[in-house]
Amino acid sequence: MSLLPDDPKMQDELREMLYRFQRPKDTMPLPPLKVQKPLPMEQARLYKMKIVLQDIEPPIWRRLVAPTFMTLDHFHLCLQSIMGWKDAHGYSFLINGNRFEPKQPDLSLDNLILNRENGYEPANYQLSQLLKLGTVFHYEYDFGDGWSHEITVEDDNHNRDSDYPVYCIEGERACPPENCGGTSGYGRLLEILADHNHPQYDEMRDWLCGHFNSEYFNPKDSNREMGVRRPASYIPRPQVDRDAERKKKKQERLRKKDARKRGR
């Protein structure tokens, strides 16, 4: 015999009450938020954020600029590009005690092995609804290797210094290779690559498909990558003087018209 009421609405309310009771006292479930229509880029405010990959020394970090209206699922794609990941695994955000993660099937590997519960849907929340100046939050990628990134909002009204809506300003050191075993596996990989006489040296070089420079990073590479993988709604359009463009087209039409008259 079920102890839940027959009314589905009352069942949902009861589940929400139980969930709230189980959450830490300093956090509360988020209310449903309406995603706002993106503003024209010249009107949008920009966040400047620093991303640091945790538990690695010397640190691997990036500094990123992104519009405040960007949704978390799009922000995830930008983080993948600027860090150097391949978007081959699951991810989640932890912001103000709330977890944001794409909904997974009940039989997904993460749910079966790690017993993870679904969080809030990232596509339903924008950065401006969750972040403010000084906010520190976390982004986890690949629940097996467990890459954790600490992100700090350094500026919530950054001056626009590029035509790109999302771009990397600076950073240091290369991203670890995918599936290398997390921070401990990455440390072991670097030890092997530093010793040409190590019995696994050739094997690791083949696995990496050749050269790997752990100290190399160029923000231009990240920005070029984001130009390919950035969602279509965020791809920058060239700044065009509409009046000058119309005038040029009108002059071209008149030139062709005069040419036709002379040819008669």
Question: In Å, how far from its chain's centre is CA 108?
Answer: 22
Name the residue type at position 59: P
Tokens representing 196 are 């040409």
In this prediction, residues 228-237 reach a mean pLDDT of 48
pLDDT, greater one: 2 or 144: 144
Q: Model confidence at 117, in pLDDT bands (50, 70, 90)?
A: low
Q: Is the Cα dihedral 232, 234, 239, 245 positive or negative? A: positive
| Strands lying side by side in the sheet with 136-141 | 98-100, 91-95, 136-141, 147-155, 46-53, 60-67, 167-172
Residues 6+ apart with CB under 8 A from 35: 71, 123, 124, 125, 126
| Cβ–Cβ < 8 Å for 98, 119 | yes
pLDDT tens across 143-169, in order? 999 999 999 999 998 887 776 778 999
The predicted pLDDT at position 81 comes to: 92
Does 237 have pLDDT greater than 80?
no
Of 174, 185, 256, 245, residue with least CA distance to 215? 174
The predicted pLDDT at position 43 comes to: 64
Tokens representing 65 are 């600029």
The predicted pLDDT at position 71 comes to: 92
Tokens representing 43 are 């009107």
CA separation for the pair 231, 222 (Å, rounded): 15
Sequence length of the chain is: 264
Q: Model confidence at 246, in pLDDT bands (50, 70, 90)?
A: confident
| Cβ–Cβ < 8 Å for 72, 133 | no
List, in order of start, the domains of the chain with CATH numbers: 11-173+217-238 (3.10.290.30), 179-215 (no CATH)
Mean pLDDT of the chain: 80
CA separation for the pair 20, 24 (Å, rounded): 8
Judge if the upstream peptide bond of residue 29 is cis by omega within 30 degrees of 0.
no
CA separation for the pair 213, 208 (Å, rounded): 11
Indicate whether this model's pTM tops 0.75.
Answer: no
Tokens representing 169 are 């300003």
Q: Residue 119, Cβ neighbours under 10 Å: how many?
A: 16
The predicted pLDDT at position 249 comes to: 80
Helices vs. strands in the chain: H and E counts, helices first: 7, 7
Beta strands 91-95 and 98-100: pairing type? antiparallel
The predicted pLDDT at position 184 comes to: 94
CA separation for the pair 189, 208 (Å, rounded): 10
Does 232 have pLDDT greater than 50?
no
pLDDT, greater one: 241 or 98: 98
pLDDT tens across 21-78, in order? 444 444 445 655 555 565 555 567 899 999 999 999 999 999 999 999 899 999 999 9
CA separation for the pair 215, 260 (Å, rounded): 63
pLDDT tens across 173-223, in order? 999 999 999 999 999 999 999 999 999 999 999 999 878 899 999 998 888
